């Protein structure tokens, strides 16, 4: 990625420093030149590096086309939409697809406060919801993991599983602690539906997806990803790669979710 950025910058620089620039300096002098060069530099995009380039490669579909039917969903008073958790439309879409697939075991990567895990457990009472988050002792400064993480403000501010702990807690949630770069996905045995929402770098999107595919191997299953949008370049770059390789990954219109059956 760094290499791609460097090439893009070089290309932009060469395009800005062209004959037209020389002619302009000869005719009008250097007045306003830095500002104009800056504007030109920002406007030029020789490698089409905008997020749209990746999003365009991931086909989009409607929720109704990936489920047999829409069914009523329960959301109770303990639900809260906080920064870092799923907004309504994504939450309802995720639960709708999960319910449609009727899994006995599900795995969520990225518990955070646990609002999504809790509502999955409430709406899929016969399913065991495994959910994993980084250990509470995780410290960005001492992290020596090989894969780059992101969203450190969320990691710092999380209260893992708070939403489903305590009074009225559900018995079908299993909390795990670990880094998905090294965690054994066999700790969620029998999982067929996976929700990927941990670190959103390219490296973690790939790591988590490949491990879900390996864990679900031999049975039909479904992976859903959150944050399939322009703000999460690592996720869309990886999903665009999958789509280009022929994997049936689709974005769900009106949401930032992507889904793939395997
Ligand atoms: C965007 S939040 C997840 C939101 C949650 N799925 C929800 O719907 O409310 C991302 C979470 O992933 C966790 N996380 C980040 N990197 C991780 C990793 N490598 N392994 C496990 N969890 C990770 C963070 O600590 C954070 O709590």
Beta carbons within 10 angstroms of residue 169's beta carbon: 13
Q: How far is the CA of 180 from the centre of ligand 1 (A)?
A: 10
Q: Which two tokens stand for residue 20?
A: 């037209």
Atom of ligand 1 nearest to the CA of 149: 16
pLDDT score for 99 = 98
pLDDT score for 47 = 60
Please name the residue whose Cα sits nearest to atom 24 of ligand 1. 155
Question: Which position has the token pair 């870092």?
Answer: 84
pTM given for the model: 0.85
Q: Which two tokens stand for residue 194?
A: 């996976």
| Interatomic CA distance for residues 116 and 158, integer angstroms | 14
Q: How far is the CA of 160 from the centre of ligand 1 (A)?
A: 9
3-state helix, strand, coil in the chain (%, to 5): 40, 15, 45
In order along its 262 residues, the chain shows pLDDT tens digits of 566 667 767 776 777 777 767 776 777 777 777 766 766 665 565 665 688 999 999 999 999 999 999 999 999 988 988 999 999 999 999 999 999 999 999 999 999 999 999 999 999 999 999 999 999 999 999 999 999 999 999 999 999 999 999 867 789 999 999 999 999 999 999 999 999 999 999 999 999 999 999 999 999 999 999 999 999 999 999 999 999 999 999 999 999 999 999 9
**Mutate-to-test residue for ligand 1 from 198, 223, 255, highest number of ligand atoms within 8 A of CB:** 198
Question: Which position has the token pair 């996976």?
Answer: 194
Task: Show the ligand 1 pocket: residues with CB < 6 angstroms.
Answer: 84-86, 108, 110-113, 115-116, 132-134, 149, 154-155, 158, 179-181, 197-199, 204
Q: What structural domains does the chain harbor? A: 2-49 (no CATH), 54-261 (3.40.50.150)
The C-alpha angle 153, 156, 161, rounded to 5 degrees, equals 115
**Coil, helix or strand at residue 251:** strand
pLDDT score for 143 = 96
pLDDT score for 240 = 98
Q: Which two tokens stand for residue 138?
A: 């995780």
CA distances from 170 to 77, 122, 125, 255 (A): 15, 7, 9, 27
């Amino acid at each position: 990625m760094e290499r791609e950025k460097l090439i893009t910058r070089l290309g932009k620089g060469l395009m800005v420093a062209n004959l037209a620039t020389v002619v302009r300096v000869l005719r009008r002098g250097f007045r306003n030149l830095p500002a104009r060069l800056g504007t030109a530099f920002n406007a030029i995009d020789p490698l089409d590096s905008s997020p749209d380039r990746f999003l365009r490669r991931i086909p989009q579909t409607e929720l109704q086309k990936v489920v047999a039917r829409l069914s009523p969903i329960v959301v109770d008073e303990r639900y809260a939409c906080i920064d870092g958790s799923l907004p309504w439309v994504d939450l309802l879409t995720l639960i709708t697809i999960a319910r449609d697939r009727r899994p006995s075991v599900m795995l969520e990567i990225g518990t955070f406060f646990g609002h999504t895990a809790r509502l999955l457990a409430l709406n899929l009472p016969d399913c065991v919801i495994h959910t994993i988050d980084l250990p509470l002792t995780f410290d960005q400064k001492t992290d020596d993991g090989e894969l780059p993480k992101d969203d450190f403000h969320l990691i710092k501010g999380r209260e893992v599983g708070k939403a489903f702990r305590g009074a009225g807690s559900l018995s079908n949630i299993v909390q795990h602690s670990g880094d998905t770069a090294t965690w054994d996905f066999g700790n969620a045995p029998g999982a067929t539906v996976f929700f990927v929402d941990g670190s959103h770098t390219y490296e973690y999107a790939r790591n988590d997806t490949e491990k879900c595919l390996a864990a679900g191997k031999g049975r039909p299953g479904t992976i859903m990803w959150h944050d399939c949008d322009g703000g999460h370049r690592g996720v869309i770059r990886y999903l665009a790669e999958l789509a280009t390789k022929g994997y049936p990954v689709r974005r769900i219109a009106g949401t930032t979710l992507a889904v793939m059956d395997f």
